[in-house]
Amino acid sequence: MNTTGSHRPKKRLGQNFLRDRAVLDKIVAAAELTPEDQVLEIGPGRGALTEVLAPHTTMLVAVEIDRGLQNHLMPLSNAHPHLDIRFQDFMKTEWAELGFVAERPVKVVANIPYYITTPILLKLLQAVRLEKEALSTVPPLAERILLMVQWEVAKRLTASPGNKDYGSLSIIAQYAAEVSIVTKVPAGAFYPRPEVDSAVVMLKPRTVAPVAIDDAAKLFRVVRGVFQQRRKTLQNGLLAAGFERPRLEAAVAATGLDLGRRAETLSLAEFAALANTL
Ligand code: SAM
């Protein structure tokens, strides 16, 4: 890792820099990069991951919000002409600005700041579009997304029905992508050391919906609604989310679902069946 400059880690920007080479190598191996791939790194920081990624890439765009890291990143960009560092806020960056060509695959490989994990994930998965359009009509932004997230978030992203970590994030992520945990990462792999463990997760955005959905907006509304009332029965959660009793009765008649169950016991397919009949 480049250690020039007098930059001090900024907690408010989620700056926990990776310092474990074995973890960096695992991330890069999981990306399975080919010369065809165009790679996006969000938050290169002092360049620990960038430095390991650069020799495996032919196009690498890195978006960093903190200009104070210029002294660390500029030597890397001088050493690797195909590395394009942008000092800007990723959340305010339009995908088209990144300059990726449509003909080649994109992979996202990043140790992201934890204060915006969910917004970054939802942006990369195009959750806003998926809520309005059929999944098959929304081409994925990236073929593979490898992200360092808090261990708690990794558990939520990959949780199955019946698990205490299962909730709306699990369902939305698993509807949009195949999700798996690559490796757990202990807090000691970072400087400064965060308070929690982390994990590298891999998301492969889907091109075909995993379940038949008539109206994705309704599915999202049902899922968000019932998980806001996690402890309640489905029936009470759906009533609180604004669905009226006669519609619930019709849904029970059509699906045979028991609305006395808790939301956390329903599979994605059951949520889809419920949303399709509500
Ligand atoms: N990739 C480096 C590493 O592994 O050592 C740094 C990871 S650190 C967890 C997250 C990085 O994201 C920091 O460098 C931080 O400044 C940057 N960052 C925070 N908010 C950002 C945003 N909105 N857009 C782009 N980068 C951001």
pLDDT of the residue at 5: 53
Within 6 A (CB) of ligand 1 lie: 13-18, 42-46, 48-49, 63-66, 89-91, 111, 113, 116
Q: Pick the residue whose CA is nearest to atom 12 on ligand 1.
A: 43
Mutation pick for ligand 1 pocket among 2, 15, 85 (CB with most ligand atoms within 8 Å): 15
Fold designation for 216-277: Helicase, Ruva Protein; domain 3 (1.10.8)
Q: Best substitution site from 3, 25, 64, 92 to test ligand 1's pocket, by max atoms within 8 Å of Cβ?
A: 64
Q: In the predicted model, what is the mean pLDDT of residues 237-243?
A: 92
Q: Is the model more confident about 5 or about 32?
A: 32
Q: Whose C-alpha lies nearest to ligand 1, atom 10?
A: 113
- At 1 the pLDDT is 46
Average pLDDT (198-207) is 98
pLDDT of residue 3: 46
Instruction: Tell me how far the alpha carbon of residue 81 lies from the centroid of ligand 1, in angstroms.
Output: 21
Q: Pick the more confident residue, 230 or 73.
A: 73
Q: Is the pLDDT of residue 35 over 60?
A: yes
Q: What are the structural domain ranges in the chain?
A: 11-205, 216-277
- Picking from 90-99, 197-206, 235-244, which range would have the lowest pLDDT averaged per residue? 235-244
Query: Average pLDDT in the 113-139 region?
Result: 96
Q: Among 10, 12, 17, 67, say which to mutate for ligand 1: greatest number of ligand atoms within 8 Å of CB.
A: 17
Angle, nearest 10°, between helix axes 117-124 and 168-176? Answer: 30
- Quote the mean pLDDT of the chain: 95
**pLDDT at residue 7 in the model:** 84
Q: Name the superfamily (CATH) of residues 11-205.
A: Vaccinia Virus protein VP39 (3.40.50.150)
d(CA 7, ligand 1 centre) in Å: 13
Q: Is residue 2 predicted with pLDDT exceeding 80?
A: no
Least confident of 5-9, 69-73, 170-174, 239-243: 5-9
Quote the ligand 1 centre to 15 CA distance (angstroms). 6
Residues contacting 119, CB < 8 A, separation 6+: 91
What is the distance between the alpha carbons of residues 183 and 60, in angstroms, rounded to a whole number?
Answer: 23
Give the whole-number percent of the chain exceeding pLDDT 90.
95
